[in-house]
Amino acid sequence: MTNELTLPRPVANFVRAINDQDADRFLSTFANDAVVTDGAREFRGAAAIKEWSDREIFDVNVTVDVLDVADRDGQTVIIAKVDGAFDRTGLPDPVLLEQRFTVNGGKIAAFSSQLASAEN
């Protein structure tokens, strides 16, 4: 895994919370009015993000292995290999995601996740 010291603190805490299966710590990394975009779905605010993360991350024991980190246009962009007990129908093996984070005031204000493109 890429050295977590290269990640902004909220992003490193996000990754650690997922890998530790700590839903409360995960939610604490987000601003109250944060926006999550997962593929074509959007979740706004703490309650919606909690519902999404409980179902899509914690109920299926997702783990994240950060493979690459970059700063692009003021966002932290990671390429991560994800694993877990989720439905893999139609997904590549391994599942690589491009995840983008906008951090503001020490919290994640925006997060998006999509399958990584072949050139990543």
Residue 120 lies in a domain: no
- Please give the Cα distance from 84 to 82 (Å, whole number): 7
pLDDT at res. 6: 85
Tell me what pLDDT residue 72 has.
93
* Cα–Cα distance for residue pair 14/28, rounded to 1 Å: 9
pLDDT digit of tens for each residue in the chain (120 aa)? 444 548 999 999 999 999 999 999 999 999 999 999 999 999 999 999 999 999 999 999 999 999 999 999 999 999 999 999 999 999 999 999 999 999 999 999 999 999 998 665
In a domain, 97, yes or no: yes
Query: What is the predicted pLDDT for the residue at 1?
Result: 47
Q: How many domains does the chain have?
A: 1
Q: What CATH number corresponds to the domain at position 110?
A: 3.10.450.50
| Residue 3, pLDDT score | 47
In this structure, is residue 55 part of a structural domain? Answer: yes
In a domain, 38, yes or no: yes
User: Does residue 77 sit within a domain?
Assistant: yes
Closest CA to 65 of 96, 110, 24: 96
Residue 59: domain span: 4-115
